[in-house]
Chain A
Amino acid sequence: MRLNKFRRQKFAGPVLVVAALLTIGSAFSIASALPSAQKSEVSAQSTMVDEGKQIFLKGCSSCHGLNAEGGAVAPSLIGVGAAAVDFQVGTGRMPMADMSQQAMRKKPIYDAAQTAALAAYVASLAPGPAAVDPASLTWERDGNVAQGGELFRTNCAMCHNFAAQGGALTNGKYAPSLMGVEPQHIYEAMITGPQSMPKFSDKTITPAEKLSIIKWIKTAQSEPAIGGASLGRVGPVTEGLLVWTLGLGLLIGIAVWLATKAR
């Protein structure tokens, strides 16, 4: 009797159809997903590549070409690997804000998932260095500050300054400051050679030595400025400027006061 009453309701038909479809659909999806977990990982990977391709077409292809083949204003991305994408997009350098001499570090435009998708797409074009997992960089445990300092002074200091504060190159290009740069981005920069920076191969500077360099940079960064204002840690330039203007100005003021007659 109750069933009949239910059947007589107006919405009974549609509700039953929806319920039946849901049951069949979920049963099928469970059944088809169970046998191969591997298959789903591959499809997730290809979804990521597809997703990355969509982001690439929208955000990058106007300069780098529809197939990342490069163009008049931008290099080819075939073979640069996921590491280069993770560095350039993860530090906000790409997409560039304008066509100036150098892409500068800014707030990233794409979030971590979008960056990973872009990296997966670019890595799918041709093999290249893989993005660096921050968890795999055990610089705190395995780095050697003294060795890192020696390596930094020979290989990095000429452009990035002896205290990793950055410095000028030619035609408005510059080596950026390394203060506050994430360890994986430092590592990726060394293996991919972004923009003006050359690559530092794993054979000439081993991965262990690279960890030491990171540890040295992080140690230099956490070095306390006992006297407060570190004046950019660029040596005698700012210090001299301050003394010659503020210091001498003060002395001249005192000399003038000394020589005025009291009334």
Chain B
Amino acid sequence: MSNSISRFEDPGLPEHQHRKSDIDAIAANRAERQVAVLFLLSAIGTIGTIASYIFIDSKKFIYLPILGDTNAQQLALGTGLAASLFFIGIAAVHWAKTLMPDEEVIAERHEFRSSDEDRADFVTTVKERAGAAGLGRRSLIKRSMGIALGLIGLSPLVLLRDLGPLPKQQLFTTDWSAGVRLVTDPGDRPIKPSDLEVGAVAQVLPQLPAGTERTLENVGKDAVLLIRIRPEDFNLDAERLSWTHDGIIAFSKICSHMGCAVALYEQQTKHLLCPCHQSTFDVTRAAKVIFGPAARPLPQLALTLDADGYLVAKQGFTEPVGPSFWERNSA
């Protein structure tokens, strides 16, 4: 047995297999016809597209098995255009695969490095031309060019300003404060306790001073869900119980996890569900988190009645509403 391992020979390319259409004239003619048919199908598709645009009533609906009721013209336009483009592609590929030249050609790469002569030549040329352009002499051009090119680098820096401005106190404040009426969203009607039956909910917003426009930013912080349950169902401490009125309790609708609107209220289980990440809050226990990723209960809004018997906020929210943020000093 020989100990020496002979070098593995490069087997080279496998022998070229000619296609059927290369060696058989009948096959070549068949391929030619196939390509022609594909191109003609594309033409038919285009003509169909144009014809359906002109002749099919744009209001006409037809019934098709899987699709159901479908607008006939839209369907014909889409199918026709798809056919006209698809068959052009298919025809081109089929043509290339069956009839276009099929010989393998090997083009060797030349070496990347230039010859030493060329390299030396280049250096001489650059030095010569730079001298001729007068970069050394014309310092005005050199400096102004330096300013122009340097300033270009500054413009992206300015765009960083769009990262601000900082929200300042906006994340801590809402439009709720002592004595602000709860009004329906939409409709802006104030609410009396007698307006809500047990098991009822209402989407509410704070009543803004007359002449103030309600913006989406307001709504995004102020949205509150008003819920009425039987008072004996509450399982609250004395302070939180004093924030309710006769079974009516109010929570911020902005999820303490990521700020989605938590308004899926199941009146039998008295659970509030956030649709984004399934955080679930127990209304009877001051919106305690019983499932999901939320870290804190929903902030509760303290309620009381004003002189006219309408529901008002006893005070603003005692904590920032919505998700956690850097400056918020809590979990």
By a CB distance below 8 angstroms, the chain A residues around B61 are: 224
Interface residues of B in 150-186 (CB under 8 A from A): 184-186
Structural contact, B74 and A227, CB atoms closer than 8 A: yes
Contact of A203 among B98, B192, B269, B275 (CB under 8 A): B192
Dominant SS at the B interface?
Answer: mixed
Cβ-Cβ contact count across A and B, 8 Å cutoff? 109
> In the bound complex, do residue A170 and residue B263 qualify as a contact, i.e. CB atoms below 8 Å apart?
no
User: Is A158 touching B187 in the complex (CB atoms < 8 A)?
Assistant: no
* Given contact pairs A159-B264, A228-B70, A262-B97, A203 touches B195 in the complex (Cβ within 8 A): yes
Select which of B21, B184, B263, B271 is within 8 A of A204 by beta carbon: B184
Q: Is A150 at the interface (CB under 8 A from chain B)? A: yes
Q: Which of B1-9, B198-206, B209-217, B296-304 contacts A (4 or more CB under 8 A)?
A: B198-206
Contacts A196-B269, A229-B67 known; A204 to B275 CB distance under 8 Å?
no
Using Cβ atoms and an 8 Å threshold, which residues of chain B touch A248? Answer: none
B202 interface neighbour in A170, A204, A230, A262, Cβ under 8 Å = A204
**Contact code string A37-68 (vs B, CB < 8 Å = 1, else 0):** 00000000000000000000000000000000
Q: How many residues of A contact B (CB 8 A)?
A: 37
Q: Measured between C-beta atoms, what is the minimum distance from A219 to chain B in Å?
A: 17
In the complex, the answer to whether B191 meets A195 with C-beta atoms within 8 Å is no
Give the residues in chain B near A155, CB-CB below 8 Å: 203
How long is the Cα–Cα vector from A204 to B185 in the complex, in angstroms?
9
The main secondary structure of chain A at its interface with chain B is loop
Per-residue CB contact flags for chain B residues 262-304 toward chain A (1 = under 8 Å, else 0) read 0111111101010100101000000000010000000000000
Report chain A residues within 8 Å CB of B69.
224-225, 228
**With A203-B191, A229-B66 as contacts: A154 and B267 at CB distance below 8 Å:** no
Q: Which B residues are in CB contact (< 8 Å) with A151?
A: 186
Residue of A nearest to B268 (CB): A196
With contacts A151-B186, A228-B68 taken as known, whether A173 is within 8 angstroms of B74 at the C-beta atoms is: no
Asked if A198 lies at the interface with its beta carbon under 8 angstroms from chain B, I say: yes
A159 to B263 alpha-carbon distance, docked (Å): 8
Within 8 Å of chain B (Cβ to Cβ): is A201? yes
Cβ of A1 under 8 Å from chain B: no
Cα–Cα, bound, A155→B271 (Å): 16
Contact A201 B273 (CB under 8 A): no
Choose among B20, B71, B263 the residue that contacts A158 (Cβ–Cβ < 8 A): B263
Known contacts A229-B66, A262-B97; A195 and B75 CB within 8 A of each other: no
